[in-house]
Structure 1
Amino acid sequence: MRLLTRLTAITASALTALSVSVLPVSAAGTAAAAPELVVNGTFANGTAPWWNSANTSMAVDSGRLRVSVTGGTANPWDAMIGQNDITLAQGKSYTLSFDASASTAVSVVTTVQLADAPYTNTLTQPIALTTASKRFSFPFTSSLGTSAGQVSFQLGKNAGFTFFVDNVSLTESSSTTPPGDGPVDMTNGFYVDPDSNPAIWVRDNSGDSRAARIRSAISAKPMARWFGAWSGDIRSAVSRYVAAADAADKLPVLVAYNIPGRDACGGHSGGGAGSEAAYRTWISEFAAGIGDRPAVVVIEPDSLGDFGCMDEAEIQVRTRMLNHATQQFRDKAANTWAYLDAANAGWVAPATMANRLRDAGVGNVRGFAVNVSNYYTTAESTTYGNAVVSALGGGATFVVDTSRNGNGSNGQWCNPAGRKLGTPAQLGGGAEMLLWVKVPGDSDGPCGIAPDVPAGTFSPDLAIRLIDGS
């Protein structure tokens, strides 16, 4: 069953027994992999069908396109490269993405437009280039319905320089529509991890007076399974977990957490893959492990919030890795709703986060996640999420981590006292979904009210305090 069908699979008796509210959902199918509209965007097959205008010359150099641009032109379009015969549908949403750099800092323009007069633009986007290659991603809604579209890079009105571009992609954004009509109980629809840290603790400590309360309030609830280096062969580990959920006809929630330099600001959950190449392989295998089975994935918590603790070179590498991750879920996990992590309401300004999300490839996936492992209320988080959507110009959805936000934030992030469990997983609630992404009772690190509990380790004391709000 596909993702939305999975979420509608509930009986009236189960709804009555669970005594939870029902929310609307459509039984329409989820998105298939979007077809690529650009031909030879990796330049693996030379330059064709790309063309260049006067004042430019082009060749493939080390797997990317190198364009020499003559200086002294009056207009950006006086020196161009592009590709024609792009088919666009009016009113459809698309994302144009590419890697680009230049021999010197320079501003150029990329467009999606008619190839012939009157050259009507549906996307005109200035881009600031430096000598470091950067991933750019621009979602837009087409005002054109044509088979004579064009993707172009307008390079004129500059001094002479060299332009480099690679991995050019134009795809229609996910055709999956947000849930629309028909009853669904999301608590029943999500998969309950039988081997979560709280579930294991409850099984191993059945005689403990706290076990029954932790089972009822936490381990019996749907929550995310986090995957990292500890998971072993990642493709097999992910496949086994998703297969178990599929067999139970439930929807699993997974977290990919293995990016190099992980938790750069917090420090308690440091680690990650040993190199960019290792990470690219790991995340590719992660997506392949899901395949065409339904799943929800949160991609790399804190990864776009940590920029204040990283230098520019590290930021560029991280952004490139995240963009690769979004492409892998887009291309290898067609029935997955994937969400880039977008920090929380108290960390990064919405406009800044929107820029980071664009660069990281949010246009390739369903949207973004907020408040992961933090405590901001659902209302604060949805206000923040909506502001990010607005700054993105629409075209994205978001989910909120409600695992520990029942009492809101007191300004501390590392095992603060007085926090409480939030709303269990459901559709809607101000966001596309409310999810328990952080596992309640798992420590943030040796800090706060758990000074001796390492990050990711379950503490029954933390769990009880979350149940009681103490």
Structure 2
Amino acid sequence: MPARYGDLITNGSFTNGFTGWWSADPAYVTTATPGTGLEATATTDAANLSDAQVGQDNLLLRPGCRYTLSFTARASQSGTTLRAQVAIGAAPWTPAIDKTVTLGLGDTCYTFAFTSPLDTATGRLTFQFGQSTAVTVYLTEVRLTCSTVGEGFYVDPDSSAARWLAANPDDPRAKKIERSLVRRPAARWFGAWNEDIKADLDTYVAAAAAKGQLPIITLYKMSGQGSGSAPSQEAYRSWIDAAAAGIADRPALVIVEPDSLAQLGNLPTDAARAERTGLVAYAAEALAALPAATVYLDGGHTTSTRPTEMATRLRDAGVAHVRGFAVNVGNFDAVDVCCTYATQITSELTRLGDPDTGFVVDTSRNGNGAMDAEGQHVDWCNPAGRRLGVASSIGVGGADYLLWIKVPGDSDGSCGLGEGLPVGTFSPLLAERLIDGW
């Protein structure tokens, strides 16, 4: 599976020893990882910078995408030269960025932003420091990030909020909705309403790629019942194949079938549950084969399924093939509650033989959490008193990302504050209540 967009570097703080890294000829460089980062020592035989180097391979670099390389470094001798380079990992070794810094005796954090001219899945990051003298370079907090909140989650120009704004520019709520919703990245959902899923995804992903940005996509064809709006298992598989063809080899962050595994217990028979699980597994394998997609299956939320049961469902649905799972989609639990729930799932998955599973949290409407004034869990359908959560960004609490997966301002159905509004209909009332938190 390719490195996920976000932080492309594995073990950048060296908390897991030297795992994921390599070093040059031991005659020129030796390494140690005492738990506080990397200690890399060049020998006197390393006459050139490139003689003594450490690095990491198989980095996915896309042309036109914005990246940031950052690291913290110092040296045993003041004035030590360190060259940091991101390049193709084979001849002709074309660089995307090539920076040389002079290290002092104290830790310094270096940050360099660049736009990649390269299109490769074999990118290489190296730190080079041979200088004909014995010197130790101390290195930690190495990160190579793409599509962070400041660099490029794609903002859907045709979101429901954007369409409302275009039709109602003089509405007194317009500026508030533009500032808080229209300008912020959220998922676009693709489902039965897309008559040509391949063409529609191709258009959307291509628009994001043209900006060097990462689109957030939700695939929602099951709609909670069997194969949902697909007339058969074969039709659903064909739909997934078409969706995968639409995304193709371009970057995308894909959420697969919210509610599909969380509502598995609502199906009437073992056969129906097995069918659902098999279809999610098919989607997982088809999407995992895409070279630049990062994929998350449905992981439910804290009140839907016990963590141990959800871990079993995820394992059976092929979570080992993808990056991980999404929690809290369309729900309201606070980030810390979601991360605790997700961590319990990942621990159980590790016990079941699927380690290193990641997760994302839907923060589109969880700014006030899920409890009402009486301490009761709010109803799922357009409840009052909710607020926008953290905008789409790199995660905290173990999460890969915090994402707006549910589209804020879109109705859950004709209920709660959205009485009379069909599901998926944008409502400026719902939007304003989420913005103001009342």
CA positional deviation for 1:387: 0.6
> 1: CA distance between counterparts of 2:369 and 2:119?
34
AA aligned to 2:367 is G
- What RMSD, in angstroms, separates the aligned Cα atoms of the two structures? 3.1
Q: Which position in structure 1 is the counterpart of 2:383? A: 416
> 2: CA distance between counterparts of 1:370 and 1:24?
33
1:287 to 2:254 alignment = no
AA aligned to 1:228 is G
CA positional deviation for 1:451: 1.0
Task: Answer whether contact 2:65 2:211 (CA < 8 A) is retained.
Answer: no
1:193 to 2:156 alignment = yes
Q: Which position in structure 1 is the counterpart of 2:400? A: 432
1:462 to 2:430 alignment = yes
> 1: CA distance between counterparts of 2:232 and 2:119?
34
Task: Answer whether contact 1:341 1:368 (CA < 8 A) is retained.
Answer: yes
Q: Which position in structure 2 is the counterpart of 1:322? A: 280
Q: Secondary structure at the match of 2:414?
A: coil
AA aligned to 2:66 is A
1:405 to 2:362 alignment = no
CA positional deviation for 1:218: 0.7
2:333 to 376, 384, 407: 376
> 2: CA distance between counterparts of 1:368 and 1:236?
26
CA positional deviation for 1:31: 11
Q: Which position in structure 2 is the counterpart of 1:354? A: 311
Task: Answer whether contact 1:257 1:272 (CA < 8 A) is retained.
Answer: no
AA aligned to 2:393 is Q
> 2: CA distance between counterparts of 1:309 and 1:425?
31
Task: Answer whether contact 1:253 1:297 (CA < 8 A) is retained.
Answer: yes
AA aligned to 1:457 is T
Per mean C-alpha deviation after superposition, the further-off stretch among 182-191 and 216-225 is 182-191
Q: 1:315 to 1:23 in 2, by over 3 A?
A: farther
Q: Which position in structure 2 is the counterpart of 1:444? A: 412
Per mean C-alpha deviation after superposition, the further-off stretch among 304-313 and 243-252 is 304-313
> 2: CA distance between counterparts of 1:24 and 1:408?
37
What aligned pairs does 1:121-136 form with structure 2 within 5 A after superposition?
Answer: none
Task: Answer whether contact 1:295 1:336 (CA < 8 A) is retained.
Answer: yes
Q: Which position in structure 1 is the counterpart of 2:191? A: 228
CA positional deviation for 1:345: 1.4
> 2: CA distance between counterparts of 1:322 and 1:258?
11
Task: Answer whether contact 1:341 1:369 (CA < 8 A) is retained.
Answer: yes
CA positional deviation for 1:182: 4.3
> 2: CA distance between counterparts of 1:342 and 1:23?
35
Task: Answer whether contact 2:387 2:433 (CA < 8 A) is retained.
Answer: yes
Task: Answer whether contact 2:67 2:144 (CA < 8 A) is retained.
Answer: no
CA positional deviation for 1:425: 0.7
> 2: CA distance between counterparts of 1:226 and 1:24?
34
> 1: CA distance between counterparts of 2:298 and 2:320?
13
CA positional deviation for 1:288: 1.2
CA positional deviation for 1:10: 6.0
CA positional deviation for 1:365: 0.7
Q: 1:23 to 1:414 in 2, by over 3 A?
A: farther
Q: Deviations over 1:232-252 (max 9, x none)?
A: 111110010000000011000
> 1: CA distance between counterparts of 2:184 and 2:274?
38
Q: 1:235 to 1:389 in 2, by over 3 A?
A: same
CA positional deviation for 1:395: 2.2
> 2: CA distance between counterparts of 1:447 and 1:30?
48
Q: Which position in structure 1 is the counterpart of 2:204? A: 241
CA positional deviation for 1:24: 12
> 1: CA distance between counterparts of 2:152 and 2:318?
29
Task: Answer whether contact 1:425 1:433 (CA < 8 A) is retained.
Answer: yes
Task: Answer whether contact 1:187 1:425 (CA < 8 A) is retained.
Answer: no
CA positional deviation for 1:207: 1.2
Query: How does the TM-score come out when normalised to structure 2?
Result: 0.66
1:387 to 2:344 alignment = yes
> 2: CA distance between counterparts of 1:284 and 1:183?
30
Gaps of 5+ in 2: 9-60, 70-109, 123-140, 372-376
Q: 1:32 to 1:395 in 2, by over 3 A?
A: farther
> 1: CA distance between counterparts of 2:281 and 2:229?
17
Query: How does the TM-score come out when normalised to structure 1?
Result: 0.61
CA positional deviation for 1:304: 0.4
2:357 to 384, 396, 402: 396
Task: Answer whether contact 1:189 1:251 (CA < 8 A) is retained.
Answer: yes
Q: 1:427 to 1:235 in 2, by over 3 A?
A: same
AA aligned to 1:319 is T
CA positional deviation for 1:192: 0.3
What aligned pairs does 1:8-47 form with structure 2 within 5 A after superposition?
Answer: 9=66
Task: Answer whether contact 1:402 1:422 (CA < 8 A) is retained.
Answer: yes
Task: Answer whether contact 1:187 1:424 (CA < 8 A) is retained.
Answer: no
> 2: CA distance between counterparts of 1:329 and 1:369?
15
AA aligned to 1:297 is V
Task: Answer whether contact 1:340 1:362 (CA < 8 A) is retained.
Answer: yes
1:258 to 2:225 alignment = no
Q: Deviations over 1:364-411 (max 9, x none)?
A: 111000000100000000111111000000221000000000000132
> 2: CA distance between counterparts of 1:419 and 1:250?
29
Q: Which position in structure 2 is the counterpart of 1:277? A: 234
Q: Deviations over 1:336-363 (max 9, x none)?
A: 0000011011211111000000110001
What aligned pairs does 1:210-229 form with structure 2 within 5 A after superposition?
Answer: 210-229=173-192
Figure out how many residues of one structure are paired with residues of the other and give that number.
Answer: 309
CA positional deviation for 1:210: 0.7
Task: Answer whether contact 1:2 1:294 (CA < 8 A) is retained.
Answer: no
Task: Answer whether contact 1:227 1:257 (CA < 8 A) is retained.
Answer: yes
Q: Deviations over 1:39-60 (max 9, x none)?
A: xxxxxxxxxxxxxxxxxxxxxx
Q: 1:208 to 1:382 in 2, by over 3 A?
A: same
AA aligned to 2:337 is E
